[in-house]
Amino acid sequence: MIVEVQQQYEAVIGIECHVELKTISKMFCGCPNEFGGEPNTKVCPVCLAFPGALPVPNAKAIEHMFRAGLAFEATIPPHSKFDRKNYFYPDMPKNYQISQYDMPLTVGGVVRYWMEDGTRRECRLTRIHLEEDTGKSTHVGSADGRLAASTGSLIDFNRAGVPLMECVSEPDIRSADEAVAYLETLARTFRELGVSDVKMEEGSLRCDANVSIRKRGETELGTKAEIKNMNSFRSVRRAIESEIARQIAVVEGGGRVIQETRGWDEAAGVTHSQRSKEQAHDYRYFPDPDLVPIDVTDETIARVRAALPVIPYERYVRYVDEYGIDTKRATQLVEDHALAAWFDRAVAASKNALATVAFVLGDLARLANESGTHVADGKVTPEALAELVALTQSNAINSKAAKQVLETLWSDGGSAKTIVERDGLAQVSDRGAVEAIVDEVLAANANVAADYKAGKTNVLGFLTGAVMKASRGKANPALAQELLKEKLGAG
């Protein structure tokens, strides 16, 4: 479709994502919350919904919800409860899902995020509620293992009952790129909070998107389609782009978008209709009589709030606005929260963020890569790096020596100062000492000096190099050059 036409429209997108919480045991039973394993080996009467089995909520999962909510400035209501969402599906053991309907654990809040180019955005949250995951069905009998044409399904309940957090956003997102950036920040933040590992490849973050379009400038919402089963950031981008294009095509073709659920077909790269509003489910939500209400005290909220870490967005803003680090490198740091934490300690000691980031994402990152050891697990302490930064800033050593010191720190650890002293790497900035060497060099290269005087000033580089060589790299290069010019009667 012609870009001009696309430009006339804007998309209105809301995202619902399900994130598996990081706990030792499942949401309502004592089975391990671990990915994979032999089918049906992490099960009990509760998560298999055997007759008579009863759920008991996992306190840790509930605490994770508070952490997630408070990190995004959500409200934690004083009262909450679990409800049953009733529908039949073979990988859902009870044929109802324990979820939360009208009294979620967290309400409202806002996700502040940034785009690749550094522009900052906000997306309001409607709610975050707690529920349980289903088992997994493998469709057999069809060549491509897909539902259509399968002859049956095999069910593994290891995942059934894993705690699941559902984050529902307001329709504040306007493009596929924003959707991805929003999800990346959610994922980073959940990792930072320790509430989830967000391993996409293990499906621990799954999302649906409500997409509608309208002509730019219009304010009321168009009819939305809900897109399901996008299981990577890449497929989120592709699915939303293709859905926006589809809706524009429908409208441009004189048709109207109908409210329906559409599945994303990764292989075909299109969404296809699954269920229209008419066939919508009647989930018959009602309070789960097997569980008692949850009351939340101000003390609990204060305790959780006090234990919150710095979230990636705050860190990103500090790096860019206070430290003046470019958005690309700021993002690079924030992406790796162990590295960012290490970096923060180094900056606290060095008081020089830019010089520090140059080392951390430069030589230090290179050394880390080569050895396959994370900077935070290496022998270089943030304090040692800060020392090194100080030594270079004060010209106590030159950049060549700095590289050498860093390599020694990486292999043996220890203090930068000590290494500089031990290996005699301190830069010679003593005028007399350097002058003596300069004199030697000029004496040994009289003809070159003559060339210089004759106007071939470009030989200065050669002479400076000779001085450095003679000083075994220790001479302060700036000083050496200054003296050479002096003696050659700079003109």
Partner 1 sequence: MNPLKDSARAIAREVNARTASAAEIAEAVIPQAERVDAQLAAFLQLTPELVREHARRVDERVAAGEHLPLAGVPVAIKDNMCLTGTRTTAGSRILENFVAPYTATAVQRLLDAGALPVGKTNLDEFAMGSSGENTAFTPTKNPYDLDRVPGGSSAGSAAAVGGFASTLSFGSDTGGSIREPAAFCNVVGFKPTYGRVSRYGLIAFASSLDQIGPFARSVEDAALAYDVIAGKDPLDATSIDRAVEPAADHLREDLRGVRVGIVKEFALDKLDAQSRACYEAAYADLEKLGAELVEVTLPTADYGLATYYLIAPAECSSNLARFDGVRYGLRVDAPDVNEMYERTREAGFGAEVKRRILIGTYALSSGYYDAYYVKAQKARTRIAEDFARAFERCDVIAAPAASAPAFRFNAKSDPVTMYLMDYYTIPGSLAGLPALSVPCGYAVPEDGTRPMPMGLQLTTPLFAERALLGYAHAYERATLHAEKLTPLTETAAA
Partner 2 sequence: MPTDRIDIRHVARLARLALTDAEIATFGPQLGSLMTHVDALTALDLSDVPATAQVVPSRNVQRDDAIRPETMLSREAALANAPQAQAGYFRVPRILAEEG
CA nearest to 105, candidates 53, 68, 55, 156:
68
From 139, 214, 318, 485, residue interacting with partner 2 (rule: CB under 8 A) = 139
C-alpha span between 465 and 116 (Å, rounded) = 42
From 6, 137, 223, 352, residue interacting with partner 2 (rule: CB under 8 A) = 137
Do residues 472 and 426 lie in contact, with contact meaning Cβ atoms separated by under 8 Å?
A: no
User: Would you state the structure tokens that stand for residue 342, as one six-digit string?
Assistant: 């290490």
The distance of closest approach from Cβ of residue 18 to Mg ion in the complex, given in angstroms and rounded to an integer, is 6
Binding track over 254-283 against partner 2, x by CB under 8 A: ---------x----------xx-----xx-
The distance of closest approach from Cβ of residue 331 to partner 1 in the complex, given in angstroms and rounded to an integer, is 44
Indicate whether 93 belongs to the interface with partner 1 (CB under 8 A). Answer: yes
The distance of closest approach from Cβ of residue 286 to partner 2 in the complex, given in angstroms and rounded to an integer, is 8
158-177 binders of Mg ion (CB under 5 A) = 166
From 52, 217, 289, 372, residue interacting with partner 2 (rule: CB under 8 A) = 289
- Residue 8: count of CB within 10 angstroms of its CB: 12
21-80 binders of Zn ion (CB under 5 A) = 29, 31, 44, 46-47
Kindly tell me the sign of the dihedral angle through the C-alpha atoms of 197, 203, 204, 206. Answer: positive
**Among partner 2, Zn ion, Mg ion, none, what does residue 118 contact (CB within 5–8 Å per kind)?**
none
Indicate whether 53 belongs to the interface with partner 1 (CB under 8 A). Answer: yes
Indicate whether 40 belongs to the interface with partner 2 (CB under 8 A). Answer: yes
Residue 24 or 490 with smaller CB distance to partner 2: 24
C-beta contacts of 296-300 below 8 A and 24+ residues apart: 296/66, 296/76, 296/77, 296/78, 296/79, 296/80, 296/105, 297/78, 300/66
The residues, ordered by sequence, that sit 6+ positions from 48 with a Cβ below 8 Å of its Cβ are 93, 157, 160
From 7, 88, 455, 458, residue interacting with partner 2 (rule: CB under 8 A) = 88
**Among Zn ion, partner 1, Mg ion, none, what does residue 94 contact (CB within 5–8 Å per kind)?**
partner 1
Do residues 119 and 156 lie in contact, with contact meaning Cβ atoms separated by under 8 Å?
A: no
**Among Zn ion, partner 2, partner 1, none, what does residue 346 contact (CB within 5–8 Å per kind)?**
none
C-beta contacts of 44-50 below 8 A and 24+ residues apart: 46/161, 47/93, 47/157, 47/160, 47/161, 48/93, 48/157, 48/160, 49/93, 49/94, 49/95
Kindly tell me the sign of the dihedral angle through the C-alpha atoms of 133, 224, 65, 130. Answer: negative
The distance of closest approach from Cβ of residue 30 to Zn ion in the complex, given in angstroms and rounded to an integer, is 7
**Among partner 2, Zn ion, Mg ion, none, what does residue 313 contact (CB within 5–8 Å per kind)?**
none
The distance of closest approach from Cβ of residue 182 to partner 1 in the complex, given in angstroms and rounded to an integer, is 31
Indicate whether 90 belongs to the interface with partner 2 (CB under 8 A). Answer: yes
Query: Partners of 123 in the beta sheet?
Result: 111
User: Would you state the structure tokens that stand for residue 418, as one six-digit string?
Assistant: 């000590």
* Binding footprint of partner 1, residue count (CB under 8 A): 29
* Binding footprint of partner 2, residue count (CB under 8 A): 59
Residue 308 DSSP symbol: P
Query: Partners of 106 in the beta sheet?
Result: 128
Indicate whether 362 belongs to the interface with partner 2 (CB under 8 A). Answer: no
From 8, 78, 116, 147, residue interacting with partner 2 (rule: CB under 8 A) = 147
Cα torsion through 156, 160, 163, 167, rounded to 10: 90
The residues, ordered by sequence, that sit 6+ positions from 4 with a Cβ below 8 Å of its Cβ are none
The distance of closest approach from Cβ of residue 354 to Mg ion in the complex, given in angstroms and rounded to an integer, is 45
Do residues 128 and 168 lie in contact, with contact meaning Cβ atoms separated by under 8 Å?
A: yes
Binding track over 275-314 against partner 1, x by CB under 8 A: -------x-xxx--xxxx----------------------
Residue 216 or 272 with smaller CB distance to partner 2: 272
Indicate whether 60 belongs to the interface with partner 2 (CB under 8 A). Answer: yes
Residue 54 or 338 with smaller CB distance to Zn ion: 54
User: Would you state the structure tokens that stand for residue 7, as one six-digit string?
Assistant: 């430009």
- Stretch of 13-21, 85-93, 317-325, 330-338 lying at the interface with partner 1 (CB under 8 A): 85-93
Residue 166 or 260 with smaller CB distance to Mg ion: 166
H or E element: which one contains 248? Answer: helix 233-252
**Dihedral class, residue 397 (left if φ above 0, else alpha if ψ from -120 to 50, else beta):** beta
Binding site for partner 2 (CB under 8 A): 23-25, 29-32, 38-46, 48, 56-62, 81, 87-90, 92, 134, 137-139, 141, 147, 150-157, 228-229, 263, 274-275, 281-282, 284, 287, 289, 291-295
Binding site for Mg ion (CB under 5 A): 166
Binding site for partner 1 (CB under 8 A): 45, 48-57, 84, 86, 88, 90, 93-96, 153, 155, 282, 284-286, 289-292
